[in-house]
Structure 1
């Protein structure tokens, strides 16, 4: 990854860490799932896809082609878009919701393609067991390599028989959904769904 800017999204999330961070600290009574938990399979597939993206040759567009299908398998993009928008989601028309989901996906793919942009022997490893909290599961991973040591932790929820990611936590506590909801709130207040789609498209075009 780019040593100085490869984790731009981590830095952006850190700047908003005080805006409703969600702790991933282990709490008493949390059920620990078995190693064969289906949520682990989702994360293992994502990890393999991220490594393949780092190794891809041909620039941003080539990396986007690699990570795009991985994002579709691992992430519940419609749920993440809805959770990132929050209460205003119910005021969007079905067409507006579909447009936001498509733009949210494009942004997600572009950001992963930009942030995981080179390979220098990095590894993504599962850390600890899977935690079950209500209807959700938490899976922790660690990205290590030359000059890199980052926690990437995921909240997953079952949808249609598949466990997919609905939130990503940076450095154990910074919720991507909470950060994005804060980012999106002002945009939506000023221009509704149309302004949000334009905002997401700008983020996709300039993902770092």
Structure 2
């Protein structure tokens, strides 16, 4: 069940280009539809599906902000090179976890329920992954990076924040280990997924 929910995160792999506030619902709906078509295409292998999905979704996520939020206060304690290196590894970690879930797709649908604006610079796009037996809520959290340019910085799956989950994991790891140990661990994980 949770694997199928994580699959929906494939809909948000990206770099930082963003969209306007008025485009969020329609653009996400359009991109989700394109991703579902790719996932249903039995002529494409997993690698090709991954490549095409990343191409479609390459403009929605702010991985730098996600990296900073997931690392917590340690972010302010490291230098610019360490920050850049961490962003690269963390981005790859997220992408690898999404790609690993590709083979779990079994013809689910994604419904766009609407948007909420809890703050002037925050918008939540509420969606549901609809399976044959259950529905799972997935909230995409956008922030306004600059004048009417909105990017995703977190996703809630069943009420659980992806970024908060990583932040807790990293904080636990760093209690008795160094930032260099964390980077080595992330590098090992990345090398083992190649």
The TM tier, using the shorter chain, reads 0.7 to 0.9
Match of 2:151 among 158, 164, 175: 164
Query: Structure 1 residues 122, 8: closer, same or farther in 2, change over 3 A?
Result: closer
Distance 1:53 1:108 in 2: 20
CA positional deviation for 1:151 = 1.4
Aligned CA distance change for structure 1 residues 40 and 123 (closer, same or farther; 3 Å): same
Q: Scaled by the length of structure 1, what TM-score is found?
A: 0.70
SS at match of 1:74: coil
Contact conserved, 1:84 with 1:177, CA < 8 A, in 2? yes
Deviations 1:139-184 (A, max 9, x none): 111111335532111110122443111111111x211111111011
**Is 2:28 aligned against 1:43?**
yes
Query: Are 1:136 and 1:158, in contact at CA under 8 Å, matched by a contact in 2?
Result: yes
Deviation at 1:95, TM superposition (A): 0.8
SS of the residue corresponding to residue 112 of structure 2 reads: strand
Question: Residues 124 and 86 (structure 1 numbering): CA distance in 2 closer, same or farther, change over 3 Å?
Answer: same
1:26 match: none
Preserved CA contact (<8 Å) 2:6 2:98: no
Classify 1:8/1:68 alpha carbon distance in 2 versus 1 (closer, same or farther; 3 Å). same
SS class of match (2:116) = strand
Give how far 1:45 is off.
5.0
Unmatched segments (≥5 aa) in structure 1: 11-35
Contact 2:6-2:157 at 8 Å conserved across structures: no
Give me the whole-angstrom Cα distance separating, in 1, the residues matched to 2:174 and 2:31.
31
1:75-98 Cα offsets, whole Å, 9 max, x none, are: 111111110111110111111111
Partner-residue secondary structure (3-state), 2:39: helix
Contact 2:5–2:129 at 8 Å: present in 1 too? no
Q: Secondary structure at the match of 2:58?
A: helix
Aligned position for 1:188: 174
Q: Check whether the contact 2:5–2:136 (CA below 8 A) recurs between aligned residues.
A: no
TM-score by length of 2: 0.75
Unaligned residue ranges in structure 2 (runs of 5+): 8-20
In structure 2, distance between residues paired with 1:142 and 1:152: 6
Name the counterpart of 1:132. Answer: 117
SS for the counterpart of 1:131 is strand
Aligned residues between the structures: 176
State the structure with bigger RCO (CA 8 A, min sep 6), 1 or 2.
Answer: 1
Q: Give the secondary-structure state (helix, strand or coil) at the position aligned to 1:82.
A: helix
